[in-house]
Amino acid sequence: EDKEARVAEREIVGDAAPRVEERVFRFGEKLRWGSREAEITSVTLRDATGAPRLSFRTGDAAVIEIAYAARKTGLVGQFGIAIHREDGTQVYGTNFVIDGVPPIPLAEAGSVRIEIAALNLLAGNYALDVAVSRDRDPYDFDYQRGAATFSVWSEHAEAGIARLDHKWTIHDNLLASEG
C-alpha cells in the first residue's frame, strides 16, 4: 500500500483537516474531511437557464448549487468554494466571510447557490472544491476537494488563466510634416 493511498483514506474518513503536506492537489482525485455534523450531499454546476452542465464557454454565466444536510440541530455555518486549474493552481476562491454574507442556521436539509455572472476562465479543465464550516472558524463540517470537475472552452486563443474584459485603442503619433 503506497503512502498516497493511505493519506487519501485518512483524509476521507478523518474528522480533522489534513496537514498541509497531505493536501497536495491531484487533478481528478476526490478528498474529503470534516466532522460531518453538516454534510454536503450534492454539488451541481448549472448554466444560466438552470440546466446541469460540465462544460462552459469562457464568459458564460454559471451557477454552483450545493445541497447539504445538518446532522445536528442548532448548527450555524458558512459555505465556500475554490476552483483549481488542472495543474493544481488555485484560480479562485471565496466564501461567506470573504463576501460579507452572514452565516446561516443550517436546516435539516437545504441548499445554497453561488451565481457567477461571467466565468472568465480560459480554456482548460478545472476542479471545484466546496465546503461548509462553522462561522468564521476553520473547523470544517465537510470539505470536499475535487467535488466536481468541469471544462471551459474558448473562441479566443489567449494565454494565461483568465479572460480580462479589454479593448485596444490605437493612437497614431506620427507628426505632420510642414512643407
DSSP string, 96-159: HHHHTPPPEEPPSEEEEEEEES---BPSEEEEEEEEEEETTSS-EEEEEEEEEEEEEE-SS---
For residues 99 and 47, give the distance between their C-alpha atoms in angstroms, rounded to a whole number: 22
Which distant-in-sequence residues (6+ apart) come within 8 Å of 98 by Cβ? 80
Do residues 72 and 37 make contact, with C-beta atoms less than 8 angstroms apart? yes
The C-alpha cell that represents 47 in the structure block: 448554466
pLDDT for 10 equals: 37
Evaluate if residue 110 carries a pLDDT over 90: yes
In the prediction, which pLDDT does 166 show? 87
Looking at every residue in the chain, the average pLDDT score rounds to: 86
Task: Give the closest residue to 23 by CA, choosing from 142, 150, 145.
Answer: 145
Average pLDDT over residues 116-140: 92
Does the structure show a pLDDT above 70 at 178? no
